[in-house]
Amino acid sequence: MEELAVSFIEIGLAEGVFLFVVGFVGGLVSGFIGSGGAFVLTPAMMSLGVPGIVAVASNMCHKFPKALVGAVKRARYGQVDLKLGLVLGVSAEAGVLYGAHIQESIKRSFGDAGSNLYVSVAFVLVLGVVGGYVLRDAWRIYRSGRMDAVEKAGRLARWVQSVRIPGTMVYFKSLDAKISVLFTIPLGFATGMLAATIAVGGFIGVPGIIYVLGAPSIMATATELVIAFVMGLGGTIKFAWSGLVDIRLAMIILAGSLFGIQLGAIGTTYVKPFTIKVVMGVIMVVVLISRAIIIPVYMAQLGMLRPLDESVSAVLSKASFAIMAIALAFGASIILYALWHGRRAHLSQHEMLEEPVAAD
Amino acid sequence: MSSNRTELWKAAVFGIVSVLLYFVLFEFEGEILDVSIRGRWLSIVPVSIAFAFSLVHGAFTANFWRALGIRGNKNGGH
């Protein structure tokens, strides 16, 4: 334990303010789309000199209280399906453990570069397929001009809801239907595996709840917070058991992220499901680009490509982090704009309704 | 107006308690970090701290936005 003690950094005012701001933006996005802030927090902490494993552990320790506060807030708006969140959370926990095991095996066999390449390829494949699908759906809604229409379950979700497997059927309020819990197991497991690999399980969890199970976007993003709480609590206990959590880092990030998550949750009450899909899809695709451009660096480190010039590697690494930060800032800007715009429209509508009463 | 004042008071009270919690955390950061990184059953320490901060700071941030007049739309969001 002694050699770990020297790995905990000094936190000055500049580091504290930086983590608070990154936490706020991460919280804002998580409150709105159920997840998505975590992928930039770990690299942000590492940029301050925090060892990777301590950064992952501390990120996890800020994630579960943040998800708890966000889930409670959104439950007040009637957006959370607690039962579905807990059912998915249990299989997600198993996915986290299995995903962490795969990560450790890859790291043992191929070192840091192998592990980084695996994470980046997972990012590109998952975000390419799922992010592309979400954006395509958003584009289809935009083209049809029915951005205000009530969401309906798609073909896959209707099939899932039509399958009857005796002894496994459970009613979920977000679906307003009974489905077999057997369908939730692979979905939760994949969410957990992704969380253990790229720190954002919601990139599979939320689209899965919408397109595979058939829940509305707003309830899917809110329910994802319950899954994030279950996964985050389990992950924190696992890392804290090994003494890897820097509670100071976790609580500074939490300070900012709780301001953000409240605002993000409020934002969901002023927008249409279409906006949630746009924010989620755009963040996923921009993050995909950020991870794709770093892949050659890791491939060169593993000898799969000719060695890259050191300056080229440095530029690609910095560009990758910058694009990731831009993705988060872009998502946060859309959320703040949607909140401001939705609130203004709501207030002016409210004033118009009150005017005749005042005239009387 | 009185509801706004109540929210302002709540924000102030939870805000003060939240600042106190952060003050204690950083005033005794060496001791708290030392205990929390011992691991095993003492993992309850960082987990409990996280829960306590989420309750107090979560209540503060909720009342903070409410006191500023930023609230959810009761007719929207689901």
C-alpha A313/C-alpha A110 separation (Å) is 19
DSSP secondary structure string, A140-172? HHHHHT-TTSPP---HHHHHHHH---TT-EEEE
C-beta pairs of A71-76 under 8 Å, 24+ apart in sequence: A71/A222, A71/A225, A71/A226, A71/A229, A72/B58, A73/A31, A73/A261, A73/A262, A73/A265, A73/A266, A73/B62, A74/A31, A74/A222, A74/A225, A74/A265, A74/A268, A75/A222, A76/B72
Tokens at A171, concatenated: 């009613």
State the distance between the two ends of chain A, measured CA to CA, in whole angstroms: 75
Q: For B18, which residue in chain A has the nearest alpha carbon?
A: A255
Q: For B34, which residue in chain A has the nearest alpha carbon?
A: A5
Q: Which amino acid is located at A273 in the chain?
A: P
Q: What is the mean pLDDT of residues A243-270?
A: 92
Q: What percent of chain A has pLDDT over 70?
A: 95
pLDDT of residue A358: 52
Torsion (CA) A338, A343, A345, A349 in degrees, nearest 10: 160
ipTM score of complex: 0.92
pLDDT of residue A30: 86
Q: Is residue A355 part of a domain?
A: no
Q: What is the mean pLDDT of residues A35-56?
A: 77
Task: Please check the confidence at residue A242 and state whether its pLDDT lies above 70.
Answer: yes
Q: Which amino acid is located at B17 in the chain?
A: V
Note whether B53 contacts A240, CB cutoff 8 Å: no
pLDDT of residue A2: 41
Within 5-34 of B, beta carbons closer than 8 Å to A belong to 22, 25-26, 29, 32-34
B45, containing H or E segment: helix B44-67
pLDDT of residue A3: 44
Nearest to A77 among B39, B47, B77 (CB): B77
A180, containing H or E segment: strand A177-180
CA A62 distance to own-chain centroid: 14
Q: For B64, which residue in chain A has the nearest alpha carbon?
A: A259
Task: Please check the confidence at residue B76 and state whether its pLDDT lies above 90.
Answer: no
Q: Is residue A112 part of a domain?
A: yes
Q: Which amino acid is located at A287 in the chain?
A: V
Note whether B58 contacts A236, CB cutoff 8 Å: no
Note whether A346 contacts B47, CB cutoff 8 Å: no
Q: For A336, which residue in chain B has the nearest alpha carbon?
A: B70
Query: What tens digit of pLDDT does each residue of A338-357 get?
Result: 888 888 887 787 777 766 55
DSSP secondary structure string, A208-264? IIIIII---HHHHHHHHHHHHHHHHHHHHHHHHHTT---HHHHHHHHHHHHHHHHHH
Which residue shows structure tokens 């770093």?
A294
Mean pLDDT for chain B overall: 88
Tokens at B19, concatenated: 């600042």
Give chain A positions within 8 Å (CB) of B47: 61, 233, 236-237, 240
Task: Please check the confidence at residue A359 and state whether its pLDDT lies above 60.
Answer: no
Mutate to test the interface with A, among B25, B38, B53 (most CBs of A within 10 A): B53
C-alpha A289/C-alpha A177 separation (Å) is 38
Nearest to A248 among B29, B40, B61 (CB): B29
Instruction: Please list the alpha-helical segments (H only) found in chain A.
Output: 2-5, 13-33, 38-46, 52-76, 82-126, 132-144, 155-162, 184-198, 202-207, 217-241, 247-268, 273-292, 295-301, 310-359
Task: Please check the confidence at residue A274 and state whether its pLDDT lies above 80.
Answer: yes
Task: Please check the confidence at residue A224 and state whether its pLDDT lies above 90.
Answer: yes
pLDDT of residue A239: 87
Give chain B positions within 8 Å (CB) of A236: 46-47, 50
Nearest to B53 among A242, A251, A268 (CB): A251
> How many structural domains does chain A have?
1
Note whether A1 contacts B37, CB cutoff 8 Å: yes
Task: Please check the confidence at residue A252 and state whether its pLDDT lies above 50.
Answer: yes
Note whether A269 contacts B54, CB cutoff 8 Å: no
Mutate to test the interface with B, among A61, A266, A336, A344 (most CBs of B within 10 A): A266
Contact between B53 and A254 (Cβ < 8 Å): yes
Q: What is the mean pLDDT of residues A10-34?
A: 88
pLDDT of residue A5: 45
Shortest Cα–Cα distance, A42 to chain B (Å): 18
Query: What tens digit of pLDDT does each residue of A176-193 get?
Result: 999 999 999 999 999 998
Range of the domain at A299: 2-341
Q: Is residue A95 part of a domain?
A: yes
Note whether B73 contacts A269, CB cutoff 8 Å: yes
DSSP secondary structure string, A315-326? HHHHHHHHHHHH
Among A235, A8, A5, A241, which residue's Cα sits nearest to residue B39? Answer: A241
Give A177's strand partners.
A172
Shortest Cα–Cα distance, A70 to chain B (Å): 9
Contact between A39 and A131 (Cβ < 8 Å): no
Q: How many CA atoms lie less than 13 Å away from A171 in the CB half-sphere?
A: 2
Whether the CB of A34 is below 8 Å from some CB of chain B: the reply is no
Contact between B57 and B18 (Cβ < 8 Å): yes
Positive or negative, the Cα torsion across A94, A97, A101, A102?
A: positive
pLDDT of residue A61: 92
Q: Count residue pairs from A and B with Cβ separation < 8 A.
A: 133
DSSP secondary structure string, B7-40? HHHHHHHHHHHHHHHHHHHHHTHHHHHHHHTT-G
pLDDT of residue A4: 45
Mutate to test the interface with A, among B37, B64, B65, B74 (most CBs of A within 10 A): B37
Tokens at A191, concatenated: 């969410």
Note whether A1 contacts B38, CB cutoff 8 Å: yes
Among A195, A340, A203, which residue's Cα sits nearest to residue A283? Answer: A203
Positive or negative, the Cα torsion across A201, A261, A175, A158?
A: negative
Please, which residues have CB within 8 angstroms of residue A208's CB and are 6 or more apart in sequence? A187, A190, A191
Q: What percent of chain A has pLDDT over 90?
A: 34
Q: Is residue A360 part of a domain?
A: no
Q: Is residue A354 part of a domain?
A: no
Residue A79 gets which letter from DSSP?
A: -
Whether the CB of A241 is below 8 Å from some CB of chain B: the reply is yes
Task: Please check the confidence at residue B15 and state whether its pLDDT lies above 60.
Answer: yes
Within 150-209 of A, beta carbons closer than 8 Å to B belong to none
CA distances from A140 to A147, A288, B26 (A): 10, 21, 51
Look at B30 and A40; give whichever has higher pLDDT: B30
Weakest mean pLDDT among A37-46, A54-63, A301-310, B52-61: A37-46
pLDDT of residue A7: 63
Whether the CB of B50 is below 8 Å from some CB of chain A: the reply is yes
Note whether A346 contacts B73, CB cutoff 8 Å: yes
Give chain A positions within 8 Å (CB) of B35: none
Q: What is the mean pLDDT of residues A95-112?
A: 84
